[in-house]
Chains A and B, each alone.
Chain A
Amino acid sequence: MAVQADVKDLADKASGLYIRVLSGLEEYYRSDITFGLLAEKLHLPLRALIEFMQRYRLPYKGGEGDRERGLASLARMRRP
């Protein structure tokens, strides 16, 4: 039972973190927050956030259309 509770706790935390990262990234695309500051605000190592961006093929803000593409990707990721 204790193990099950631990696993559930871990899953809840992971799910919460995932949602928090998506919210943080939405702020990243909608505002002028930099990528480095975003990692700090999320209390995530920069390297972990880079890995997240690569895994989900999320764009960095580098020019025209990147913000819109990023927001569209986040919307897809939020779909159940």
Chain B
Amino acid sequence: MENPQPSQRGAGSPNRQGSAGSGSLAGSFSCGSAVPKIVVSDASPLIQITLAGYLWLLPKLYEVIIPVAVLDEVRFYESLPDAVEIVTATRTWLKVYRVERAERVQTFRSIGLGRGEAEALALYEETEAQALLLTDEDAMRKVASLKANPINLADVGREAYRGGILTARELFEYANTFLEQGILLTRYMEDLREEARKWLSKQMSKT
């Protein structure tokens, strides 16, 4: 396997877009109108979106990068289908980077982040990433307090809908898959399913 690759980017001043939206917690972390181009992903959302069968969405929306610690977590059980799918993606669109500033990882560990989360945040800092894909609200709060721009898998679905990649019906199915299969039971995914239901009924009332 060609990855993990050595870091191809040095530490630099990030050129980030995106700002807080409004509404629910998930909404407050959404990217607003500016679609992020480079997204650093933590391991949990990467595994969850793969389990739901929607890993293919990510490269249609973003340039996705992950640190080595995230790859290590993903491939712990390397023969599982989701691990195989993600590792296969590292040969094409999913880029793996080694974090250069280990001391930043330690700093982020000290505020209560796990190894993968801390490396993802350090990679976000070192690159020109515009968002950090995470699962739980406490991780999102912690990185937001450090001026990072966290997003979750509901935001990903919303961006796919806005970008015309998913129809309202497909967006409903997207959210429903996470919820019905128990892959990601959260309020933000329930909110997304409700939003999709409304968009869908609005479309149907027009026709």
Could you list which residues of chain A lie within 8 angstroms of chain B, going by C-beta atoms? 32-40, 45-48, 50, 53-55, 57-66, 69
Contacts and interface: CB of A to CB of B under 8 A. Distances in A.
Interface stretch (B3-11, B39-47, B60-68, B97-105): B39-47
B99 to A, nearest CB: 15
Nearest to B154: A62
Nearest to B153: A62
Given A62-B25, A64-B25, 10 more contacts: A45-B73, A46-B116, A47-B74, A47-B76, A50-B47, A62-B136, A62-B187, A62-B189, A64-B24, A66-B137
B148 interface: no
B19 interface: no
20 contacts: A32-B141, A33-B138, A34-B113, A35-B114, A36-B113, A46-B47, A46-B116, A47-B83, A50-B51, A53-B182, A54-B181, A54-B182, A57-B182, A60-B184, A62-B186, A63-B137, A63-B187, A64-B187, A65-B187, A66-B186
Contact of A46 (B44, B183, B184, B189): B44
B77 interface: yes
B37 interface: no
B139 interface: yes
Interface in B40-93: 42-44, 47-48, 51, 73-74, 76-77, 80, 82-83
B38 interface: no
Contacts of A46: 43-44, 47, 73, 76, 114, 116
B152 interface: yes
A40 B186 contact: no
B95 interface: no
Nearest to B117: A36
Contact of A36 (B44, B152, B184): B44
The 8 A-B pairs of least Cβ separation, nearest first, read: A36-B114, A62-B186, A63-B187, A37-B114, A59-B185, A34-B139, A57-B182, A45-B76
